[in-house]
Amino acid sequence: MSYINFNSDSVKNFVADHELDEIQPLVSLAHEQLENRSGAGADFTDWVTLPTDTKQADLDRFKAAAQQIQSDSDVLVVIGIGGSYLGAKMAIDFLNPMFNNELAKEQRKGVKVYFAGNSMSSAYLTDLIRTIGDQDFSVNIISKSGTTTEPAVSFRVFKELLEKKYGKEGAKKRIYATTDGQRGALHNEAEEAGYETFVIPDGVGGRFSVLTPVGLLPIAASGADIDSLMQGARDSEREYDNEDLKKNDAYRYAALRRILYDKGYTSELLTNWEPSMQYLSEWWKQLMGESEGKNQKGIYPTSANYSTDLHSLGQYIQEGRRDLFETVVKLDNPIVDMPLPTEEGNNDGLHYLEGKTIDEVNTKAFQGVVLAHVDGGVPNLAVHLPKQDEYTLGYLIYFFEKAVAISGYLFAVNPFNQPGVEAYKTAMFALLGKPGYEEETKEYSKSLGK
């Protein structure tokens, strides 16, 4: 049995067993393309063996830098966008108490971690600077090129703050650059200034980079155990290295998604029952959407946080258009459980729940939602997690990464590029008057009536 339990029993009314048998040859071909590095985007498939290829010496270096940050800083500002942000944010939320940044230093395992460079909001930056206040802080700037607009803008702001607070020499010791190993504006600046630098592997795209220093350094700084995280990913790598749909749950998940898509279920809701998993969904949405959404094909990835969103989206999910299916990530054993208090009388109508814990109620709500949604025509898949810890998260990260690679090949697209992302950048650069975009500036200005 797999360490994490993928349950597809609730799609039996939507997908027949023979349909999985019929898609098996396509899955086998996708597996061969991925393992042999012969499919589209093969130059960006180093993540496939990344868990086992990562050396302990590298992990020790990340941990040493994290310890240095913890020793001289109360706060780490992680600057990045997309894959340079979502993986670390997802993991730190998953592995730490919900209000970790509000806890006293002696109650936390590591530093407070805040994120910047993930928007162009001056209000956000202003509020973050006010929140940091007089606390000692360091910066981890994450950018392959160093010229991506959102993180580059934030880095300018926080570099100036560091220099004002610690002087230029002191600031350099508090800047950690995660970037390209040979080229790019950030690489050149880091080399010239003497920042401690970590390399983003050439063969790993941003949305697959959480198990590189992109994610591992800030995760370690938060106090999480990256050795255990990588061990989970290594064991997952071995678990999901089999083309047989009867033996490989990650591939089975990919195959079922494709079969459901062909039946008209073109949107997938990733749902959870723990608020600390909200950013797991955000990371997953980039992984799935950026990998599959090409050539006017692909499943639209969206998410819901239960039970909260049952009181807003629940009506639509139950009785709206029948073009969506759900994949639930369910924690089977919570970090902590709380008994429902008893009291005299029954003014709140909760007498029938006395003697139960809150997680028991949560689990029954999960089971009831699956029954109701399946009965309403919404196929349901479930990924059950035995624990909420580093090992489990490493296992889960690799499960989803392997699944989307196979799914992308089943859609006959390149799962490892993102050509559409450049479209908005071209328009933005043109409208801002960036040198080299003169023709585009004329074109877009004309279309806006300027």
Which positions are annotated as active-site residues? 290, 425
Compute the 3-state secondary structure of the chain and give helix, strand, coil in percent, each to the nearest 5. Answer: 55, 10, 35
The residue behind tokens 């990464």 is 401
Helix (H), strand (E) at residue 268 = strand 267-272
Please tell me what DSSP assigns to residue 201: P
Three-state secondary-structure class, residue 85: coil
End-to-end CA distance of the chain: give it in Å, rounded.
Answer: 63
- Judge contact between 41 and 288, C-beta under 8 A: no
Q: In Å, how far are 302, 308, 382 from 313, measured between CA atoms? A: 12, 9, 19
DSSP per position, 220-263: HHTT--HHHHHHHHHHHHHHT----TTT-HHHHHHHHHHHHHHT
Cα–Cα distance measured from residue 171 to residue 228, given in angstroms and rounded to the nearest whole number: 32
List the one residue out of 443, 439, 426 whose CA is nearest residue 149.
426
CA dihedral 267, 272, 273, 277 (to 10 degrees): -150
Distance of CA 383 to the CA centre of its chain: 16
**339: DSSP letter:** B
Query: If you compute the radius of gyration of the chain from its CA atoms, what whole number of angstroms results?
Result: 23
Give the chain's count of helices (H) and strands (E).
16, 10
**CA distances (Å), origin 265, targets 178, 258, 306, 323, 411:** 39, 9, 21, 4, 14
User: How far is Cα 346 from Cα 352, in angstroms, rounded to an integer?
Assistant: 9
The Cα–Cα gap between 257 and 268 comes to 8
Listing DSSP states for 99-165 in one string gives TGGGS-GGG-SS-EEEEESSS--HHHHHHHHHHHTTS-EEEEEE-SSS--HHHHHHHHHHHHHHHHH
